[in-house]
């Protein structure tokens, strides 16, 4: 019974791990074309919350993400400016801007997180934090819109957008993956001119013998746990420990001698 319970526990752990690894494949490829966008269910960043994702690009300008209060005062805009990440946000019409020192248009993968805590918002790029803070009368951010990634639909009336000129921001070109609100994956409501990442880096599955492709630090890897094979591409046969056949033969001889 103990062996059976252990087997069930091990299988459950492997299943959960595989599920989390497959989740990393969920991402988007932005081509940088006019009127491209991906729309996610609203991020509740009114008081305290975190948003994170990985991205890769070789362009110096583009809109990464945007949400607002429907054209009144509050908004948050994350964009590429001169190859650096710029965060603009406003609470109760008190506005500030934070810009990273590091350039990111190097075709390498980067990790970005936006951490909201009432009037303080921290931009974290590859582990380096840049805080921004405003001091309005109201202590929370009003959020009405969903989250737009890579661009904003051109059919939205400019009067319904809080940040002037956001419609004229250049569209983002590159990859965004593993977008999360805290530890949860948000619901993708729709997109235009955007290619699902499943059709990108993991589409031409490099894994052999039924191995599963997943992304780790933005690069494709292979999970070989259910294949009976090993190696980077699940192409190498697993080696059987040399003592196993020896023990088997010894037991076989003992059984044969006992029956003779």
Query: pLDDT digits over 8-63, tens only?
Result: 334 433 433 433 344 344 679 899 999 999 999 999 999 999 999 999 999 999 99
CATH homologous superfamily for the domain 1-25+201-260: Laminin (2.10.25.10)
- In this prediction, residue 15 carries a pLDDT of 38
For the question of whether the overall pTM of this predicted structure is more than 0.75, the answer is no
Q: Give me the DSSP letters along 108-125.
A: S-EEEEEEEETTEEEEEE
Average pLDDT (186-203) is 76
Give the residue among 180, 182, 116 at the shortest CA–CA distance from 149: 180
- In this prediction, residue 13 carries a pLDDT of 39
What pLDDT band is residue 238 in, cutting at 50, 70 and 90? confident
The CATH class for the domain spanning 26-199 reads mainly beta
What value does the mean pLDDT of the chain take?
A: 83
Q: Is the pLDDT of residue 251 over 70?
A: no
26 forms bridges with which residues in the sheet? Answer: none
Q: Is the pLDDT of residue 168 over 50?
A: yes
Domain boundaries, the chain: 1-25+201-260, 26-199
195 forms bridges with which residues in the sheet? Answer: 29
Give the residue among 193, 214, 217 at the shortest CA–CA distance from 23: 214
Which range has highest mean pLDDT (75-84, 174-183, 216-225)?
75-84
Cβ-contact 63, 77 below 8 angstroms = yes
Residue 28, phi then psi, degrees to nearest 5:
-135, 145
- In this prediction, residue 144 carries a pLDDT of 97
């Amino acid at each position: 019974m103990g062996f059976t319970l252990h087997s069930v526990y091990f299988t459950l752990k492997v299943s959960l791990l595989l599920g989390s690894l497959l989740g990393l494949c969920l991402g988007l490829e932005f081509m940088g074309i006019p009127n491209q966008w991906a729309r996610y269910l609203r991020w509740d960043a009114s008081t305290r919350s975190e948003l994170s994702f990985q991205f890769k690009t070789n362009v110096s300008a583009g809109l990464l993400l945007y949400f607002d209060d429907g054209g009144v005062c509050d908004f948050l805009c994350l964009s590429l400016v001169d190859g650096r990440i710029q965060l603009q946000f406003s609470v109760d019409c008190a506005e500030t801007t934070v810009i990273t020192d590091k350039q990111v248009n190097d075709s390498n993968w980067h990790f970005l997180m936006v951490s909201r805590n009432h009037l303080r918002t921290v931009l974290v790029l590859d582990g380096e934090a840049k805080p921004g803070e405003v001091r309005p009368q109201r202590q929370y951010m009003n959020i009405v819109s969903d989250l737009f990634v890579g661009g904003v639909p051109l059919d939205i009336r400019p009067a319904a957008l809080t940040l002037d000129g956001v419609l004229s921001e250049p569209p983002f070109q590159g990859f965004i993956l593993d977008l999360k609100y805290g530890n949860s994956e948000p619901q993708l409501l729709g997109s235009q001119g955007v290619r699902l990442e499943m059709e990108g880096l993991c589409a031409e599955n490099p894994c052999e013998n039924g191995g599963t492709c997943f992304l780790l630090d933005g690069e494709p890897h292979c999970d070989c746990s259910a294949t009976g094979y090993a190696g980077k591409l699940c192409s190498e046969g697993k080696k059987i420990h040399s003592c196993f056949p020896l023990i088997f033969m010894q037991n076989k001889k003992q059984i044969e001698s006992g029956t003779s």
